[in-house]
Chain A
Amino acid sequence: MAEAEDSPGEQEATSSKPLFAGLSDVSISQDIPIEGEITIPSGTRAQECDSSTLNESIRRTIMRDLKAVGRKFMHVLYPRKSNTLLRDWDLWGPLILCVSLALMLQKSSVEGKRDGGSPEFAEVFVIIWFGAVTITLNSKLLGGNISFFQSLCVLGYCVLPLNIAMLICRLLLLAGQGPINFMIRLFVVLVMFAWSVIASTAFLADCQPPNRKALAVYPVFLFYFVVSWMILTFTP
């Protein structure tokens, strides 16, 4: 919408430019560079947006978004000091991760559904979003200077290691259950749990007052603990 509205405005500006350009030349000569500085960047930005969204193929648009999501995945896997994840947040990645985790935690057999025991799709979904919202509100209440959706985005993206753990667990469960199998799964889940917590605190802790980092990290720890515990106790 905003981009579409920008372009007519820009056209108007260009069409009306010859009308007023001479006038400004005549009256105040030193105002010209300032005017140029102000109008040119906004014009080029609008043009760039126009060309990228309207003229390109749908495939390229989707690929661009997917690439952005993938880049953020890499940021989670190699947590380093960078605020790309914070600056341009999106909720696509969290949605993808949440849905895939919920699907993997679903029991396939009819017997499993009858017995219960498996967390259901809606429940995993609710736990992840409700937990993320709770942590976000908590960090806001503690005086953090992070926006609501930025925090949701970070918490959602940092479920990625746990997704990987879930994938490995499902593969291991194909081989059959046993104490050794369980020990391997426990190890994998613990490592991925630590990874999730470290990655999310690397992004979130900077937004908290320095003396309260521990208070903000504790609910994050609890949240990922519950999720990883659900993964560990899962049996198909």
Chain B
Amino acid sequence: MATQAAPASGVRNGAGPEWGGFEENIQGGGSAVIDMENMDDTSGSSFEDMGELHQRLREEEVDADAAAAEEEDGEFLGMKGFKGQLSRQVADQMWQAGKRQASKAFSLYANIDILRPYFDVEPAQVRSRLLESMIPIKMVNFPQKVAGELYGPLMLVFTLVAILLHGMKTSDTIIREGTLMGTAIGTCFGYWLGVSSFIYFLAYLCNAQITMLQMLALLGYGLFGHCIVLFITYNIHLHALFYLFWLLLGGLSTLRMVAVLVSRTVGPTQRLLLCGTLAALHMLFLLYLHFAYHKVVEGILDTLEGPNIPPMQRVPRDIPAVLPAAKLPVAVVNATAKAIAVTLQSH
């Protein structure tokens, strides 16, 4: 790398149009070469130095670009200068490509290392946190502890995705799997990330003491109640049961989050605003997932597909009510006929 850049800078110096600027050029080029050499020394040492190195290289590159821009103003462009420019361009391109590759690999490697502390949990800890997410603690005066951990929330979101898929399949939906899979993932992750950042923003406005990581963990563990409720009610279709679970389990997990937020906020107005928003969003999300979800998707599909009615379709017609006294039975017959037709068409 250094060998490519060094001749380029040398040629640049040699092709400098004005010898008055020679000293500056030499200095600029010289410093660049020295830095490159330093870099070459460190590059062999270890991979951990890459970040620092990367930063230094970027500064250097800015310097070099500035020098190049200065120089291109010169009127003299002889063959030598042209060749120099060409070789420099090629070297620059190669350097850029290599650097991009290295920085990409480095950022991936670094990201995994950065995220690792948030996944540092034991199974017992996860179990107790899952249980605690359903137990609100009435402690308002002292800020309650929130564990900054992402394993549990992430797994809960993936579980919720799987449960949603299951619910969509078993419900009488026109199932367009590709759309549904994407929608399920989008909904769950969108809710988790979107509401967390929104509440974090509100918390910032309301001067609550909570970090983004804590917010993500809090809301993520709050989804445990949702998972249980949806898993049960997608399999047992009873509205009363759903409302009971919605109030009980959903309410408990919401209360737990509200209690934590209350203990970390000062002032009644702020508390009301923050906790009201969070509670409303969390409870309504569960309602939304249970009732409206597949219907919304169905509606979207219908509008996307447009008029897609098969040409030969038997539509049950109403039996004319001849006598006013026979209206009630006729209505019943019509309803049954329609129901039969619907079941037949769906098969």
Within the complex, the shortest CB–CB distance from B341 to chain A, in Å, comes to: 17
Task: Supply 17 further A-B pairs (C-beta < 8 A) apart from A142-B151, A219-B155.
Answer: A116-B175, A117-B177, A118-B177, A120-B178, A123-B181, A134-B158, A138-B151, A141-B112, A141-B119, A141-B151, A142-B119, A143-B116, A143-B120, A211-B123, A212-B122, A215-B151, A222-B159
A-B residue pairs in contact (CB < 8 Å), sample of 26: A114-B308, A116-B174, A116-B175, A116-B176, A117-B174, A117-B177, A120-B178, A122-B178, A134-B158, A138-B119, A138-B151, A140-B112, A141-B116, A141-B151, A142-B119, A143-B116, A143-B119, A212-B121, A212-B122, A214-B123, A215-B121, A215-B151, A218-B155, A222-B159, A226-B162, A229-B165
- B residues with CB within 8 A of A: 112, 115-116, 118-123, 126, 151, 154-155, 158-159, 162, 165-166, 169, 174-178, 181, 301, 308
Chain B, interface SS category: helix
CA of A193 to CA of B120, assembled, Å:
29
CA of A172 to CA of B118, assembled, Å:
46
B176 neighbours in A (Cβ, 8 Å): 116-117
CA of A115 to CA of B298, assembled, Å:
12
Q: Which of A120, A215, A218, A225 contacts B177 (CB 8 A)?
A: A120
Within the complex, the shortest CB–CB distance from A202 to chain B, in Å, comes to: 19
Say if the beta carbon of A24 comes within 8 Å of chain B: no
A127 neighbours in B (Cβ, 8 Å): 181
**7 A-B pairs with the lowest CB-CB distances in the bound complex, closest first:** A116-B176, A141-B119, A214-B123, A119-B177, A117-B175, A123-B178, A116-B175
Within the complex, the shortest CB–CB distance from B2 to chain A, in Å, comes to: 26
CA of A127 to CA of B185, assembled, Å:
11
Within the complex, the shortest CB–CB distance from A192 to chain B, in Å, comes to: 18
Contact with B along A144-174 (1 / 0, CB 8 A): 0000000000000000000000000000000
A229 neighbours in B (Cβ, 8 Å): 165-166
Contact with B along A85-117 (1 / 0, CB 8 A): 000000000000000000000000000001111
Which residue on chain B has the smallest CB distance to residue A115? B174
A219 neighbours in B (Cβ, 8 Å): 155, 158
Q: Which residue, of A120, A143, A212, has the highest number of chain B Cβ atoms within 10 A?
A: A212
A118 neighbours in B (Cβ, 8 Å): 177
B119 neighbours in A (Cβ, 8 Å): 138, 141-143
Q: Which of A114, A211, A233 contacts B169 (CB 8 A)?
A: A233
Which residue on chain A has the smallest CB distance to residue B122? A211
Chain A, interface SS category: helix
Q: Which residue, of A114, A116, A134, A225, has the highest number of chain B Cβ atoms within 10 A?
A: A116
CA of A200 to CA of B159, assembled, Å:
19
Which residue on chain B has the smallest CB distance to residue A130? B185
Q: Which of B118, B122, B158, B301 contacts A222 (CB 8 A)?
A: B158
CA of A233 to CA of B169, assembled, Å:
8
A137 neighbours in B (Cβ, 8 Å): 112
CA of A103 to CA of B165, assembled, Å:
21
A115 neighbours in B (Cβ, 8 Å): 174
B169 neighbours in A (Cβ, 8 Å): 233
CA of A200 to CA of B218, assembled, Å:
32
CA of A114 to CA of B122, assembled, Å:
47
Which residue on chain B has the smallest CB distance to residue A225? B162
Within the complex, the shortest CB–CB distance from A206 to chain B, in Å, comes to: 17
Given contacts A215-B126, A215-B151, A233-B169, contact A123 B177 (CB under 8 A): yes
CA of A214 to CA of B174, assembled, Å:
37
When the two chains form their complex, are residues B177 and A226 in contact, meaning their CB atoms are under 8 A apart? Answer: no
Within the complex, the shortest CB–CB distance from A221 to chain B, in Å, comes to: 10
CA of A158 to CA of B192, assembled, Å:
31
Within the complex, the shortest CB–CB distance from A100 to chain B, in Å, comes to: 19
CA of A115 to CA of B301, assembled, Å:
11
Within the complex, the shortest CB–CB distance from A142 to chain B, in Å, comes to: 5
Given contacts A141-B116, A211-B123, contact A116 B177 (CB under 8 A): yes
Which residue on chain B has the smallest CB distance to residue A135? B158
Within the complex, the shortest CB–CB distance from B166 to chain A, in Å, comes to: 7
Within the complex, the shortest CB–CB distance from A88 to chain B, in Å, comes to: 24
CA of A138 to CA of B158, assembled, Å:
12
Within the complex, the shortest CB–CB distance from A129 to chain B, in Å, comes to: 13
Within the complex, the shortest CB–CB distance from A126 to chain B, in Å, comes to: 8
Within the complex, the shortest CB–CB distance from B56 to chain A, in Å, comes to: 29
Q: Which of A195-236 contact B (CB under 8 A)?
A: 211-212, 214-215, 218-219, 222, 225-226, 229, 233
Which residue on chain A has the smallest CB distance to residue B301? A116
B151 neighbours in A (Cβ, 8 Å): 138, 141-142, 215
B178 neighbours in A (Cβ, 8 Å): 119-120, 122-123
CA of A155 to CA of B97, assembled, Å:
33
